[in-house]
Amino acid sequence: MFAMPKKLPIRSRIQIVIALLVAPAAPYHDADSAQKNGFDLRTKQPIWPTFVFDQNLTASKRILTHLEEILAFAYVSVGNKSTTETFLLLSISTLRRAGGWRGDVFVITDRVECVPPSATPVVVPPAPASSKRRAEKNERKYGKQFKQRLLQILPLSHQRYVFYMDMDILIGSAVGPFLLKAVDDFEANKAAIALFREGTGINGQNDFEISSTEPKALYHGGVFLVSREATSSACLQHWSVWYTSSSGADQPQLTRSVNAGVCNVSFLHQESYAQPTNDTAGTYGTFNHFTRTGRMIGKHGMLNEHFTLAGEVLLGLDRELARCWWNVSSPLCES
């Protein structure tokens, strides 16, 4: 059992604010004689800027802040379709570059080669074979279960907290100040889990109060903070029972777990979470959720020009690559 401090030391707060508040600018990649408009003339494949891959953290890890030592980020990337898309690579790139995060990042995956070198892969078996018609749906459900098994699977040692994030979330600003408040609130509330509210609107908050009278998804299951205490383990265990049901959604069960009193919640800073829409194109928060099964297929008024703008502003890509980043395969792995 870990002894959990009520608050992080003042010195650690100063360190992390200084270290993480200002994100470095995205460097330009060098021109190449075999390159035109961001594409290799020989292979016709996009040429990615070096900053997407070059995330050498060896030197900076010698001066980690206290928070970066006791908290790890975690992703789940399981299933052939999701692992071979660019979301995981780009999400981690923005976490490191715009978010300024130098601590550990773990990726639960069945495709090690698709994990960028600045993250640690945690290998799990692939989804059981199923018919081609149901393969993607089954893989998605199979992958989701690992969110509730983080504390069992991740090779945690000195870390006290795990911050899980869906891989289709892109980081727009430094995560340090947000995480400091999240951990403080977590401890002050003796929480088992910290969550964003689930709803509509720019920050996903609009219909939370209205929907709270119904036993549906009141909490966002794609971003959460847990600790290694028994209370978090019990919460995740109770949440995990959704996997034995016929449903492919885990969020309604999360609401039931909270309502049952098993998961004591502290709320994450809602205004830090952004759901891009047609009206907010070009304006981004700390956590920008470009939902693979929603916004990226044209829902919520999102169009290709919005994704292109995100490619330039959030991802730092050149114009040509910004126009297609969501439609090409990850350069780390073959589909």
Q: Please list the rounded mean pLDDT of every run of 10 residues in the chain (335 residues).
A: 50 47 39 48 70 66 82 92 88 94 95 93 87 72 90 96 96 96 98 88 60 67 97 96 80 91 96 82 87 59 80 89 87 78
Domain membership of residue 169 (yes or no) is yes
Residues 6+ apart with CB under 8 A from 332: 89, 113, 114, 115, 116
Note down the domain range covering 252: 66-322
pLDDT of res. 39: 58
Specify the 3-state DSSP secondary structure of 208: helix
CA 49 vs CA 29, 55, 184, 209: distances in Å: 5, 12, 37, 44
pLDDT of res. 40: 59
A 10 A CB-CB count for 220 gives 22
pLDDT of res. 28: 32
Domain membership of residue 333 (yes or no) is no
Q: What is the CATH number of the domain that holds 198?
A: 3.90.550.10
Domain membership of residue 31 (yes or no) is no
Whole-prediction pTM value?
A: 0.83
The number of domains in the chain is 1
Domain membership of residue 204 (yes or no) is yes
8 Å CB contact between 188 and 266:
yes
Residues 6+ apart with CB under 8 A from 3: none
pLDDT of res. 57: 60
Tell me the Ramachandran region of residue 87: left when phi exceeds 0, alpha when psi lies from -120 to 50, beta otherwise: alpha
**Which of 72, 73, 62 shows the shortest CA–CA distance to 19?**
62
Residues 6+ apart with CB under 8 A from 155: 106, 120, 122
**To 10 degrees, the CA torsion angle through 40, 171, 224, 155?**
50
